[in-house]
Structure 1
Amino acid sequence: MGGDSPFKNLPIPPFSHATVLSRFQKLRDSHPGQHIATTLMNQDVFCGVGQVEKIEALYHSRVHPEEPLRNVGDALAKQLILWIRAFDERWMACQKNKFEARTPMNKGSGHLLPPPEVKLCYLNGSSD
């Protein structure tokens, strides 16, 4: 995480990769047949992961959601953790940019989105 991380001012420190990996390993040992998608949604393992993060991480890591944990090694687990973290940082940066783009002129316009001249941020890196 760089100096401009959107997570830097949170009242609770961001999750530790080592803690998440350790929780993942324990769950893999106790429930080797559980699907990876179910594990990623387990808030006791990886707090804050939702459907979008789960789907994006699995897609970009080329892992089927029903892959059993016994087939997910530490290297792949680390990749999923890092991908979710990068996704969340980018998502928060996009939301911050959208919020800051709302000018006083827009407040009375009834528009919830930034003005049309603002390039919107998408997760794939393209802009509209």
Structure 2
Amino acid sequence: MVLPLAAAAARRRVGGVISSQVQRRTMAGGPAKEWEGIDKVVRGVFPGDHQLALAIMGGYTGLFLIFKMKSAMSGTKEEEKPVVVSSGADTGAGIPAIGTPEFDNFLDSEAFVKLLDSEEQLTKALAE
């Protein structure tokens, strides 16, 4: 006897909540808004909010593309500098190519020790 009474009370509570939500949802309408000035002209072409939003995004995208095309056409191209290709021969300056007898001599020289010291100092300076 208690369970049917509790079930009936629960249906009344839930039923009242559901019907009030449905009623609120259907009351969102109303008369159309009257536009004035430039809004009236724009809304005459794009009556829906989604249409106006797409038109605005399309306008910005068009401006962006026009700017990019203009800058691509008017941009000056710099001449590419020729790349100097090393033949592997030691010219007396810098580090010789790996696998050559000059590289073995470089590893035993004072210049290699100076190079290592300068790298250590650079690493310490960057760490601080």
Q: TM-score, normalised by structure 1?
A: 0.28
- More helix by percentage: 2
Give the structure-2-normalised TM-score. 0.28
Greater RCO (CA < 8 Å, at least 6 residues apart): 1
Q: For the pair shown, which has the larger CA radius of gyration, 1 or 2?
A: 2
